[in-house]
Structure 1
């Protein structure tokens, strides 16, 4: 594991240039890690670039790092999975997003479903979306990814289904155990996971009509935040970079 802290900074990396760290990471570097001038750090821009940098200014209000080298980021899976995750309350949604990012997901769309008990509107939805994107960025800092997968604005399930073009589309539902037995890795995957109460009969029918194949994860019923961890692990092992 890398010993230098990894920090997400949405900035252009130019060798010899200075980058002012955002308030949150700056506070963590200066007050928690207590790093001072001359300390090495790793920065990543969220779109695939990583930088080796050194702190040149560290105060309680401002931390500046100087870029010493720029390189391509690592840690991206060759398998592009778009996760459609029914919105759950509180920490459960954060956990699902965090673990999905650690397991190489390419994009996440929070979904409104019939049995889902979370409805967000206006400013509350915007704040929650910003929070979820921050969770994704923090997960990238921890797991070594330099590309932060987008968390798209929440949308109704039927709208998400109508936009799907992935070559393999899976919905977690008691069904065939052979959904992952196809020959050759798919170009892309859409993975649909319902809420605690499960997807309704009509939602399963709509997913099937949109080309989704039921995928069973065994005899035990998994929580909505556990299901993406298991499903993504299986997908990455079968078609991605965990094998």
Structure 2
């Protein structure tokens, strides 16, 4: 059953106007008829099955048939801070990070960032938001991740209960436990921020400043990962701890 995200609170009966993307997909893409059902999620993460009971050029009427109780979001909110990368690899990263449960994606320039989108940033952000929306629908999440562009100082000041910086030198030095230790120390509802360097890596000075801002260095194993792969490795590892171990 297809899932749609709404920008307003779900009511027992509601009209979705024709100028909304949900109407476009229901009527023009899927050619949905009266009597068809779909899942709908509102900003408060209320999830329902709704039935299309009326259809017109002005909008569709949806009536709630059933409330669903699903727990699919990661118990800890994860903010991923990354640098833009070349070509369409950021598109791929956003899609997969959404599927893996990221809560917020912050895109920022770092000392060795080689990509500069300049005036294209608003267009890129709109594209990334659409990719995240589609991925959240496909993976049946209850939230579409937030995607923002920030300068580096603002990125380091992102809200967090704990922070990590993925640093390959930690792995070379044999450190293996920080990611798991941090994951197990966080409580449900808290926020973890993880920063990942650009394609050229982080400088020693950047790592030192990150330490002052509350980001602990953490290795991601012995292999060197691409800039867009490292966040996915971390999200998958966190999901293993939080989703697949004994219930928290």
Bucket of the pairwise TM-score, normalised by the shorter protein? 0.7 to 0.9
Counterpart mapping for 1:9-20 below 5 A: 9-20=6-17
Count residues in correspondence: 236
1:52 counterpart SS class: strand
CA distance, structure 1, for counterparts of residue 94 and residue 214 of structure 2: 24
Deviations 1:180-226 (A, max 9, x none): 34384324311111121212232222212223222222232211121
Closer, same or farther: CA 85–96 of 1 in aligned 2, 3 Å? same
- What's the TM-score once normalised by structure 2's chain length? 0.82
CA distance, structure 2, for counterparts of residue 46 and residue 214 of structure 1: 34
Given candidates 81, 85, 88, the residue that maps to 1:84 is 81
Contact 2:52/2:63, CA 8 A, preserved across alignment: no
Contact 2:179/2:219, CA 8 A, preserved across alignment: no
| Aligned-residue CA RMSD (Å) | 2.5
Given candidates 192, 209, 212, the residue that maps to 2:212 is 209
Shift of 1:71: 4.9
Partner of 2:136: 140
Deviations 1:22-61 (A, max 9, x none): 55443433344332121111111244122321223457x6
Structure 1 gaps, min length 5: none
Structure 2 gaps, min length 5: none
Deviations 1:140-178 (A, max 9, x none): 1111112222112x1232332134542242334330212
Contact 2:166/2:217, CA 8 A, preserved across alignment: yes
Counterpart mapping for 1:117-128 below 5 A: 117-121=114-118, 124-128=120-124
Contact 2:158/2:193, CA 8 A, preserved across alignment: no
CA distance, structure 1, for counterparts of residue 48 and residue 91 of structure 2: 27
Shift of 1:63: 5.2
Closer, same or farther: CA 164–18 of 1 in aligned 2, 3 Å? closer
Closer, same or farther: CA 41–21 of 1 in aligned 2, 3 Å? farther
Counterpart mapping for 1:185-196 below 5 A: 185-187=185-187, 188-196=191-199
Partner of 1:106: 103
